[in-house]
Structure 1
Amino acid sequence: MYHIVDFLDTGDSEVVPSSWVKDGRSLWPPFKVREKCNRVVVRGDPPDESWPSHTIRIRATKTTEMQTNYPHTLEVPDVSGFPLTSLNELAKLEESIAAQGDIYRRKLVTYFGLAGGLTVKESVWRIMTKLMTNRLAKQINWRGLNGKYAFEQLVIKDVVLIRIDASNKVLVYRHIQLPGAVEDFTGQPPSKSAGGTKSEDRALYDKWRASQYALRADYLVGYFSLRRPSATKVARLIGQEGWTTNCPKAEEVVSMWKPASKQKVETDPYVHHCVAEQAWTGLAIKDFGPPKGLGVVATRNFASGDIVCDYHGNVITASEGRSIMEDLNGEAGCHPLIDTFGRRINHSSKSANVKPIRCKMTFNRKEKDIVLFKALKNITVDEELKVDYGINRKSF
C-alpha cells in the first residue's frame, strides 16, 4: 500500500510506501540521486531508521502495487494539453482557470503536485517541466523584464507556489529566470576579497553591481508597462522592495519609461482583466449639457502612450459597416447594450488626444478583435478625451 503525502517541513509531495509512515511522520531516503529514491519506493523497501523523518499530511492512499514506471501509474486528474508550447496556449489556460474556478484549480494543483521533488528548486523544476516546453520558458521570466512575459502576473503561478512558503518565493524567481550576470536583483554583491587579486575582485564586484543596477532599472520600468508612473509611485515601489542603494532614482525611472509594445499589450493579464471587467481607472463620464451631452474626462494625468481604456464594442468589417449605414435608423446596431467609457468618448477630427489601436485577444478560448484607446499626448486632470472617429456617411 502506498500513500501520497505532503511533507509539511519542505512543501514537497511524494509517494511513499505505507511502511515508511507512522504517527503522522514519514521516513525518506537521503539519496542525492533521484532515480535511487524512485527504485526503493517502487520496490517498497523497508525503511532505514537512520533516514531523516518528516512531518507529513496524507492526501490519498493507493492499495494496489506500485508499477515500475512510477510515478506515472498514479491516478491523476483528467487534465490535458501539457506541456504548453506557446503564449497563446498559456493565455487559453489562464482563461480556463478563470472560467472553471476552484474545481479546475484544485485539479491542476493535484496534477502538478505529483511531480514531487526533494527541494524547493527541484519541485519547481519538475512542475515547470510538466507545465511548459523549454521554447516557451525562454519567453518568460518572473518579473516580465526585457519584454518577456511576466510569470508573477499569471494565475497558474499559484499552482507552483501553493506548497512553497512565501519566504521561498525568490527561489521560484531564480528558477524561472534564465542564466545571467545576476540571478537575483534582491541579492548582495560578491565580496571585494573573493580570493583573487585585488584588481580582479574589484572588477568582479563592480561588474556584479552594474548588472544588478541594470536589472533593477528594467524591473522598475517594466512594472509600469501600460501607463507612465509618477515619481511618487516609483519611489513607493523602490521602498517596498527595500532598495536603498544601487538602484536608479525615481525620476530616472520615469524618464526611461516607454509605452509597451502592441504584442505585450495583447498578452498582458491586467489589460485582459480591464477589458473583461471594464475595470479601467482614472476616468469619469461627465454631462456637458446640450447639444454635446455625455463625454469622458480624465480624473488623473495620462502620459503620451498610456493605454486609457477600450471601446468595448463589436469590431466589424467595411462591408458590415456599409450594410449598417444603409439600414441606420438613429441607432447603430454594432454597439452592445452596455455603457462604457470607450463608447462615451466624443469625436474630434482636429483636437483628438487618444487614438484607437486594433488588437487581438483571447477570451473564453476564442480570439476577438479589441479596440484599445492610446493617449496621443499628455492628458491632464479634467481634460476631455476625444478621438477622431474617421468615418462618416461620405466614407462609404
Structure 2
Amino acid sequence: MFKIVEFVESHEVDLVPAILLENGQCYLPNSLTDSYEEGRRKAKEAELMDDVTPLLSCQTFRIAPQQSSEPALLREVLTKLEMVLDQQSTILRLLQLREDQEHLLDIEEGLLPLQDLPRLLSLEQRIQQSPDYKQKPINWLGLIGGADVRDCTWRILKRLFANSLAKNLNWRGVNGKTSVATLQLREVVIGDIRRNPITANVAEMEVEGTIRRWLQLAADREGGRKRRLLEKAAVLSALVSLSVLRGGWA
C-alpha cells in the first residue's frame, strides 16, 4: 500500500510505501537505486521489514491534502468537457449549413444555360413568386469564380444564357430584343460576382458595363464573326463579278 505525502522541509510531494511511514516520520533509504527493477526489489524488501533499519534516513512528513488537487482536477475535466461540447456544436452547425447549401444548390437538370426566351421568362416568374428560389441560381453560379470582374462576369453569363438566347438580348431592350436591365437575373449576376472574394466590392455600374459588352459580342461567338466575314467576302466577290460582266457588255 502506498500513500501520497508532503515533506515539511522541502515541500515536495511523493508517493511512498506506507510501511516507511511511522508517527509523522518517513524513513527513506540513504542510497538511490540505479534502475527501475532494483527500485522495485528494494520496495518489496521494505514492505516485508518488521522494523525500520538504521540504513534509512528520517524526514518529517504530512499526508498531502487531496482536497486541494481535486478542485483543480475537476476544473480541468469541466474545461475539457466544455471544449468537447463546443466542438460538437460547431460540427452540428457545419453539418446543418452543408445540408442547407446542398438544398440551395439543387438546380433542376437542364435548366441552365437558358436556351430560349420562354425558359427565361419562366425562370423570371419563379424568382418573382419565390424570393427563396432566387438564392438557388445565386449559390450555383457563385461557385464559378473568376480572376477579375470581366472574367467572372463572362463565365457566369456563359453558364446562364445560351448564345442563341443572348443574340436576342441587350441591355435596354431596343430593336425588338429583351432588356436584361429589367430582369431579376441581373441582380443574380451581380450577387454571384460579389460572392467572389476577388470581386466582392465591385460597383454595379462596372458589372453592368461588362454585361453590355458580353451581349454585344453574342453575334460574334460560335463562328458568327467568321460567318459574317465570309458572307461579306461572297457579296464583294459577286459585286466584282457583276462589275466585270457589265464592263464586258459595254
TM-score normalized with structure 2 length: 0.40
Q: Which has the higher helix share?
A: 2
TM-score normalized with structure 1 length: 0.26
Q: Which has the higher strand share?
A: 1
Structure of higher CA gyration radius:
2
